[in-house]
Amino acid sequence: MKKLIILSLFIPMLSKAQFVIVNTSTISLIDPRTGTWPLDLQRVIRESDTSYMMVFRDQQESSSVNMSTLKFSDVQQVRYFGKGLTALKTGSTGDIAKFKDYTIKRMDVKKGAPKGTVWYILTCEDGSLTNFQQPEADKMIAAIKGI
């Protein structure tokens, strides 16, 4: 009987230790494109750190919605992304900014687009990719400078 009483005292302590409350917050910094092919730069705030991520729909999957994420470990990594976009803005077609987990390629001509339209192709290490135009890149550069 004493064992049951002692055991009943420890069970609530053991079950309480299994639950951990984690405070996280996700804030959209810039959403340059919405709709069918969204593109969103987000800040994720956790208890001890802040990280960033670019969320986009993988454009290789046209029949299903496959959302991909490019994660940045800190604000410095996001700033490198912004510097890559800034450098490519003044570059020419075919220029590539290579990073550890992704590449950004500038393409001035895209089939069906008006002449002079600048496109960027973001390719992640996992094979997912998306593209965006110069106005969207300008919005991302401005948002990154404000971080």
Q: Which of 108, 109, 137, 142 is nearest to 122 (CA)?
A: 137
Q: Which of 69, 35, 33, 68 is nearest to 52 (CA)?
A: 69
Instruction: Read off the CATH number of the domain in which 111 is found.
Output: 3.30.2450
In a domain, 4, yes or no: no
Q: What tens digit of pLDDT does each residue of 5-19 get? A: 665 666 665 555 555
d(CA 91, CA 85): 10
In a domain, 135, yes or no: yes
In a domain, 31, yes or no: yes
- Residue 49 CB coordination number (10 Å): 9
Over residues 139-143, mean pLDDT: 92
- Residue 126 CB coordination number (10 Å): 12
Q: What tens digit of pLDDT does each residue of 15-73 get? A: 555 556 666 788 888 888 888 888 999 999 888 888 899 999 888 776 677 888 899 99
Q: How many domains does the chain have?
A: 1
**Beta partners for residue 95, in sequence order:** none
In a domain, 3, yes or no: no
Q: What is the model's pLDDT at position 4? A: 60
Q: Which of 16, 41, 8 is nearest to 27 (CA)?
A: 41
Q: What tens digit of pLDDT does each residue of 120-130 get? A: 999 999 889 99
In a domain, 137, yes or no: yes
Q: What tens digit of pLDDT does each residue of 71-120 get? A: 999 999 999 999 999 999 988 888 999 999 999 999 887 566 666 688 99
Q: What tens digit of pLDDT does each residue of 102-112 get? A: 999 998 875 66
Q: Which domain holds residue 135?
A: 23-145
d(CA 104, CA 114): 21
Task: Identify the three-state secondary structure at position 134.
Answer: helix
Tokens 């729909």 correspond to what residue?
Answer: 57
Q: What is the model's pLDDT at position 49? A: 86
Task: Identify the three-state secondary structure at position 110.
Answer: coil
